[in-house]
Amino acid sequence: MNNQRRNVLRTIATSIFGLAGAAVLGKNLVVNSSNTGTGEIVRNKRKEDEDQEIPLFSSSVVHNGLVYVAGKGAHFEGDIKDHTEFVLDELKKELEKAGSSMEKVLKVNVYLADLNDYKAMNEVYLGKFGKKPPVRTTVAVYGGVPGDSLVEIDCIAALK
């Protein structure tokens, strides 16, 4: 009876609170399964975490027709244009792996190590999401972007 009650509560919390409800109530998450487009949560592991039983975080999560892509950075020598191009290419790959595309992106967050790179980042960014770009927030990160990347970008996209 207790397990049945917990399952009902998990289902309700997931419906009401989405991913946060699932995490709080310990909802079982499906790892590396096919995308169903339903309320099922589908997690994609990062290459770095393939051998770990519990990964640090997922590279993307599909839930209720949306794809949430974790922040991508560029961890090599180069300027902001090199880093932005690389990061956008990585986002594109992750979106396609999850069954979406750059044209279906709804929301983007851009984190810059230096706000002075804003103009050059925009030069590379322009047009990457098609003729109807997503909403976007851009901030300069105090202390820099992890891994010494000059830019990190995450996004939320539709499946259909």
> What confidence tens digit (pLDDT) does each residue in 89-104 have?
999 999 999 999 999 9
DSSP assignments along 28-79, one per residue? --EES----SSS--EEEE-GGGTT-SS-S-EEEEEETTEEEEEEEE--SS--
- Whether 14 and 27 map to the same domain: the answer is yes
- Whether 14 and 65 map to the same domain: the answer is no
- Whether 118 and 43 map to the same domain: the answer is yes
Query: How many separate domains does the chain show?
Result: 2
Residue predicted with more confidence, 23 or 4 = 4
- Whether 49 and 10 map to the same domain: the answer is no
Q: How many residues does the chain have?
A: 160
In angstroms, the CA 63 to CA 68 distance is 8
What global pTM score does this model have? 0.71
Q: Which residues contact 76 (CB under 8 A, 6 or more apart)?
A: 82, 86
- Whether 82 and 117 map to the same domain: the answer is yes
Q: Any idea what the CATH number is for the domain that residue 128 is in?
A: 3.30.1330.40
- Whether 41 and 105 map to the same domain: the answer is yes
SS3 label, residue 101: coil
Q: How far is CA 31 from CA 45, 112, 157, in A?
A: 7, 31, 19
Strand order in the sheet with 135-140: 30-31, 42-45, 58-63, 66-73, 151-158, 105-112, 135-140
- Give me Rg for the CA atoms of the chain: 17
- Whether 124 and 47 map to the same domain: the answer is yes
Mean pLDDT, the chain, rounded, equals 80
- Whether 92 and 112 map to the same domain: the answer is yes
DSSP 129: T
Query: Is the confidence at residue 28, as pLDDT, over 70?
Result: no
Which tokens is 156 given? 């939320």
Residue 133 belongs to domain spanning: 34-158
pLDDT in tens, 33-91: 344 445 566 666 656 556 667 778 889 999 999 999 999 999 999 999 999 999 999 99
